[in-house]
Amino acid sequence: MSDVVVIGGGQAGLAAGYFLRRAGLDFVILDDQEQPGGAWQHGWQSLRMFSPAQYSPLPGWSMPAQVGETFPTADHVVDYLQRYEERYELPMHRSVSVTSVRRENDRWIVDTDAGSLNASVVISATGTWQSPYLPYFPGQDTFTGRQLHTVDYDSPDMFAGRRVVVVGGGNSAAQILAEVSTVAETLWVTRRPPLFMPDEVDGRVLFDVATAREAARRSGRDHDGVAGLGDIVMVPPVQAARDHGVLDRSPMFDRLSPTGVSWNDGREHECDAIIWCTGFRPHLGHLSGLGLTRENGHPATDGTRSIDHPGLQLLGYGDWTGFASATIIGAARTAKPAVAEIGARMART
Ligand code: FAD
């Protein structure tokens, strides 16, 4: 029996662990991976952060700079997360998969493939990486080339000399397009015209905006007045792709054929592969038995707290659980008030 069970040992789960430890609460962190690092251990080979290390601090101990690199590699982030859990002696339980969460006699029962746990509060921090989103288009099953999602992409090598369509208007699409275009003929397809941040803006601005919003929230001011951000960070490879004319986008196609993609106006484009960088959905199958109220396609929350169950917190996932909550700085910022709320609740009960 624990006060709190945290499901997910990525950056969001670790940030929660830091504050739970500080609050003196009894807790465990369950993670279904064998190794530390959450989704950062699964990205493609060249994946890097879009800001220097010091702009992505988890609470208590900032990420050290990576020698010789301005933008840390994913391996460096994984190393940081591993050292972070060791430093704060977080009670990690690995290779434990949570299958369901349910209520019994005013307590939570967390069922896992290694048995069940009992808790007063559950924090779900399971990220999105395990729930890739693939839209459906007519003819999708007839395409004879290769189709893969961001989660399946590793490096551009396998596309050398091929014709590749990259779908999606976010950072994953822009970065994968940039490197595939160095070895293949590419076409970039997006639903809406992409929004690019200015060249001189990187994740540092995200840090500043998160800080300004947090200050506004604390002083009770309207934080919507604080500037929003574009979608695509112009990291050096993406700038190079733009300079080579690679970022010229086409509108979304209407269907697939055995040999490529086509539009309702009669335009056709032949290709050997389609990379779907079409994003992710919150990975929340373990909560499906709770019948949570949904809002805009995800469980309805007040901040990070489920509106259905005050003892259920959701951390990470996206802006619906707090500004930039799926980034490292955002994870830190949202975990703090969430744990403060849990502490107050535990004190009352
Ligand atoms: P995750 O890292 O996915 O951790 C969740 C953990 O829960 C995983 O270990 C998972 O296996 C586990 N889990 C899931 N389901 C269960 C279950 N049922 N039972 C037990 N365990 C479970 N962020 C930044 O801050 N800076 C950047 O520069 C940056 N760059 C990015 C660039 C790209 C191209 C992309 C795609 C993302 C980037 N991000 C960046 C975003 C962000 O840091 C990651 O998405 C991050 O991994 C989210 O952390 P998380 O803890 O919420 O989820």
- Residue 199 C-beta-side C-alpha neighbours within 13 Å: 8
Residue keyed to tokens 């060791």: 86
Give CA–CA dist 284/316, Å, rounded. Answer: 12
What is the number of the ligand 1 atom nearest to the C-alpha of 285? 18
pTM more than 0.90: yes
Q: Give me 177's structure tokens.
A: 């397009």
What is the whole-number distance in angstroms between the Cα of residue 200 and the centre of ligand 1? 26
CB 190 within 8 A of CB 252: yes
H/E stretch holding 27: strand 27-31
Cβ neighbours of residue 237 under 8 Å, at least 6 residues apart? 46, 175, 178, 179
How large is the ipTM?
0.97
Q: Give me 91's structure tokens.
A: 């009670």
What is the whole-number distance in angstroms between the Cα of residue 257 and the centre of ligand 1? 34
Q: 3-class SS at 187?
A: strand
CB 331 within 8 A of CB 11: yes
pLDDT tens sequence across 270-310 = 999 999 999 999 999 999 999 999 999 999 999 999 999 99
Q: Picking from 78-87, 128-137, 219-228, 239-248, which range would have the lowest pLDDT averaged per residue?
A: 219-228
Q: Which residue puts its alpha carbon closest to atom 45 of ligand 1?
A: 326
Is any atom of ligand 1 closer than 6 Å to the C-beta of 328? yes
CB 169 within 8 A of CB 192: yes
Is any atom of ligand 1 closer than 6 Å to the C-beta of 323? no
Is any atom of ligand 1 closer than 6 Å to the C-beta of 334? no
What is the whole-number distance in angstroms between the Cα of residue 298 and the centre of ligand 1? 17
Pocket perturbation via mutation, ligand 1, pick of 11, 33, 333 by most ligand atoms within 8 A of CB? 11
pLDDT tens sequence across 22-80 = 999 999 999 999 999 999 999 999 999 888 898 889 999 999 999 999 889 999 999 99
pLDDT tens sequence across 181-217 = 999 999 999 999 998 888 877 667 766 776 777 677 6
Is any atom of ligand 1 closer than 6 Å to the C-beta of 97? yes
Pocket perturbation via mutation, ligand 1, pick of 6, 29, 32 by most ligand atoms within 8 A of CB? 32
CB 187 within 8 A of CB 166: yes
Q: Which long-range contacts (CB under 8 A, 24 or more apart) does 260-266 make?
A: 260/143, 260/145, 260/165, 261/165, 261/189
Residue keyed to tokens 């339980």: 93
**Which residue type occupies 162?**
R
Give CA–CA dist 119/97, Å, rounded. Answer: 16
Pocket perturbation via mutation, ligand 1, pick of 327, 329, 334 by most ligand atoms within 8 A of CB? 327
